[in-house]
């Protein structure tokens, strides 16, 4: 794997290649953007390139450094990731100790801090001292989807590389050509994940994503037609799929969002659920104000669950609210 095999992110990749080409590397990089865009994958490829003995714009994949990197035992690479949701001061202190020692295999040492916004305040302050005066042989890559949770003093010492959602057609083509999805399925996944390659591949390779979607659409249809008993009886589905509740609520959210668009425009390329336009057409009798109210309720439910409000109560309240609208 090298930078040429990445889908999208041309601007970010060219910035990194130019730094390698012109020998203008920064000691500290911040890879910022939403989850699932490919930041971590590119960070690893960039780290491999920095450690490669050929010192080119791509890893050679043949030298001892590249071989050790691929084997997961390169002595000059250290990756720090959250443990139980946080990165503690002690983990950053271990990184700082490693910074002080010279490289073993390569001319550089590379440190990757994934989900760097999850560092504790003490960890952030400890890292700041290293960022102020890094040794010449050090490259530090912070990866973050929430840079507002990083100290301004850290941000000021990093070169930011921004990652944006990938063009939907590129993702759809990837899912069709490499993951055996139909064009209809691929288009839906690309739109549902809003241009996230990682999330798209995860859904494309899921054994039950489309089955869950069908169950949810059926549930919504029953609720809209006034079958209140389905709201309570469906709780087993929500309890069995608690770990995927964000995804499930997004399916709800995008369905009613599509209903709103269908109500206004009819058949439209703006629909995410294009393959279900027949269902949407039959449900388009719903008043626009009611649809907006339901969308707000689903968003409120997502927020309540993220704040650890009672899960069952939150879901039951949302389902009954949708049913009561009709």
* pLDDT exceeds cutoff 60 at 129: yes
Q: What is the phi/psi pair of residue 108, to 5°?
A: -130, 165
Average pLDDT, the chain: 89
pLDDT band at residue 251 using 50, 70 and 90 as cut-offs = very high
Four-residue CA torsion sign, 245, 112, 71, 63: positive
Return the pLDDT at 230.
Answer: 67
The Cα 136–Cα 107 span in angstroms is 10
pLDDT band at residue 194 using 50, 70 and 90 as cut-offs = confident
Domain boundaries, the chain: 3-162, 206-324
Return the pLDDT at 287.
Answer: 87
* pLDDT exceeds cutoff 60 at 325: no
Query: How confident is the model over 134-180, as pLDDT tens digits?
Result: 888 999 999 999 999 989 999 999 999 999 988 999 999 999 998 98
Return the pLDDT at 161.
Answer: 94
The domain defined by 206-324 folds into Zinc Finger, Delta Prime; domain 3 (1.20.272)
* pLDDT exceeds cutoff 80 at 62: yes
Return the pLDDT at 231.
Answer: 65
* pLDDT exceeds cutoff 80 at 228: no
> What would the mean pLDDT of 115-124 be, rounded to a whole number?
92
Return the pLDDT at 323.
Answer: 81
Return the pLDDT at 297.
Answer: 94
Return the pLDDT at 50.
Answer: 95
The Cα 101–Cα 304 span in angstroms is 47
The Cα 226–Cα 126 span in angstroms is 58
Percent of the chain surpassing pLDDT 90: 54
**pTM of the predicted structure, to 2 decimals:** 0.79
pLDDT band at residue 269 using 50, 70 and 90 as cut-offs = confident
Four-residue CA torsion sign, 12, 18, 20, 26: negative
> What would the mean pLDDT of 185-193 be, rounded to a whole number?
91
* pLDDT exceeds cutoff 90 at 224: no
Return the pLDDT at 309.
Answer: 86
> What would the mean pLDDT of 186-195 be, rounded to a whole number?
90
> What would the mean pLDDT of 86-96 be, rounded to a whole number?
91
Question: What residues contact 188, with CB distance under 8 A and at least 6 apart?
Answer: 272, 273, 274, 275
Among 209, 322, 300, 321, which Cα is nearest to 256's? 322
* pLDDT exceeds cutoff 80 at 210: yes
Domain 3-162 has CATH 3.50.50.60: no
* pLDDT exceeds cutoff 60 at 326: no
Among 136, 121, 152, which Cα is nearest to 28's? 136
Q: How many CB atoms lie within 10 A of CB 135?
A: 14
Return the pLDDT at 1.
Answer: 63
pLDDT band at residue 277 using 50, 70 and 90 as cut-offs = confident
The Cα 48–Cα 50 span in angstroms is 5
Return the pLDDT at 130.
Answer: 84
Return the pLDDT at 43.
Answer: 95
């Amino acid at each position: 794997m090298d930078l040429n095999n990445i889908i999208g992110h041309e601007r970010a990749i060219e910035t990194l290649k130019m730094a390698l080409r012109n020998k203008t590397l920064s000691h500290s990089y911040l890879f910022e953007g939403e989850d699932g865009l490919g930041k971590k994958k590119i960070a690893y490829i960039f780290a491999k390139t920095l450690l490669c003995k050929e010192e080119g714009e791509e890893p050679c994949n043949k030298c001892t450094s590249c071989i050790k990197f691929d084997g997961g035992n390169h002595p000059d690479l250290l990756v720090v990731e959250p443990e139980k949701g946080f990165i503690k001061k002690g983990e950053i202190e271990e990184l700082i100790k490693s910074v002080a020692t010279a490289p073993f295999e390569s001319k550089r040492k590379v440190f990757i801090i994934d989900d760097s916004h999850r560092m504790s305040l003490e960890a952030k302050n400890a890292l700041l001292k290293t960022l102020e005066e890094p040794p010449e042989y050090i490259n530090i890559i912070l990866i973050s989807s929430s840079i507002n949770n990083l100290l301004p003093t850290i941000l000021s010492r990093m070169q930011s590389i921004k990652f944006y959602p990938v063009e939907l057609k590129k993702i759809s083509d990837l899912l069709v050509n490499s993951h055996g999805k139909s064009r209809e399925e691929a288009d839906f996944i690309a739109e549902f994940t809003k241009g996230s390659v990682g999330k798209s591949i995860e859904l494309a390779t899921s054994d039950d994503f489309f089955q869950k979607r069908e169950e949810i659409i059926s549930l919504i249809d029953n609720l809209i037609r006034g079958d209140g008993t389905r709201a309570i009886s469906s709780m087993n589905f929500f309890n069995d799929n608690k770990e995927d509740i964000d995804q499930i609520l997004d399916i709800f959210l995008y369905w009613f969002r599509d209903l709103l668009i269908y109500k206004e425009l009819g058949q439209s390329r703006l629909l995410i659920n294009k393959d279900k336009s027949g269902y949407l057409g039959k449900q388009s009798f719903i008043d626009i104000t009611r649809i907006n109210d339901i969308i707000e309720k689903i968003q409120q439910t997502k927020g309540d669950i993220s704040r650890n409000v009672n899960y069952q109560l939150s879901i039951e309240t949302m389902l009954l609210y949708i049913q009561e609208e009709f």
